[in-house]
């Protein structure tokens, strides 16, 4: 079945599957990823205070990676970006690469502020590090 074309300028229409199995499979993948995220969240909650800083941070990074996987499924399948031609995909994905710098630079800046606060120059408002 060919899709209707909305304008004579457009000659390419992604093939749309006749069934909805791909949509439901994506729904289950998103649900499963969310449940794993929640499981890790509860793990951190119930083990609160028993985990090392590095282990807690790694678990949080794993949750963030699962969130990126969810984002991939939503954008690629629900928003059909994966079905568009490659150049279209690139005009969306390449500018978003700016986020790599954006996140790294600003979070490191925030962390640097925290370190400065806890020096004598920053008057050490909270010398005892809180564990959370």
Partner 1 sequence: MSTTISTNTKWWNGGRSPFNISYGKVMMWYFLMSDAFTFGAFLISYGTIRFSVNHWADPNHVFNAFPLAGHANLPLVFVSLMTFILIFSSVTMVLAVHEGHKMNRKGVEKYMVLTILGGLAFLGCQAWEWTHMITGDHAVLVNGQIEYWGTTVTRNPWGVEVMHNGAMIATPGPIAFGGYFFGITGFHGFHVFSGVIINVTMLIKTRLGHFDQRGHYEMIEKAGLYWHFVDLVWVFVFLCFYLV
Residues that bind partner 1 (CB under 8 A): 1, 3-12, 16, 20, 23-24, 26-27, 30-31, 34, 37-38, 40-42, 45, 48, 60, 63-64, 67, 70-71, 74-75, 77-81, 84-85, 87-88, 91-92, 95-96, 98-99, 102-103, 106-107, 109-111, 113-114, 117-118, 125-126, 129-130, 132
Cβ of residue 21: shortest distance to partner 1, in angstroms?
A: 11
Sign of the four-CA dihedral 101, 107, 113, 115: negative
Cβ of residue 35: shortest distance to partner 1, in angstroms?
A: 9
Whole-number Å distance between alpha carbons of 11 and 124: 65
Cβ of residue 11: shortest distance to partner 1, in angstroms?
A: 6
Q: Which is nearer to partner 1, 55 or 106 (CB)?
A: 106
Closest CA to 68 of 33, 102, 39: 33
CA 11 to chain centre: 34
Cβ of residue 92: shortest distance to partner 1, in angstroms?
A: 6
Whole-number Å distance between alpha carbons of 48 and 85: 47
Tokens encoding 116: 């400065």
User: φ and ψ at 69, to 5 degrees?
Assistant: -65, -40
């Amino acid at each position: 079945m060919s899709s209707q074309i909305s304008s004579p300028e457009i000659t390419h229409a992604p093939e749309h599957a006749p069934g909805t199995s791909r949509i439901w499979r994506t729904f289950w993948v998103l649900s499963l990823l969310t449940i794993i995220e929640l499981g890790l969240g509860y793990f951190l909650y119930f083990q609160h205070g028993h985990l090392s800083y590095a282990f807690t941070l790694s678990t949080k990074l794993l949750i963030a990676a699962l969130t990126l996987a969810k984002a991939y499924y939503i954008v690629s399948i629900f928003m059909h970006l994966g079905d568009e031609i490659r150049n279209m995909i690139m005009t969306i994905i390449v500018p978003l690469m700016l986020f790599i710098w954006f996140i790294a630079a600003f979070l490191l800046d925030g962390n640097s502020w925290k370190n400065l606060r806890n020096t004598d120059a920053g008057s050490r408002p909270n010398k005892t590090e809180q564990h959370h």
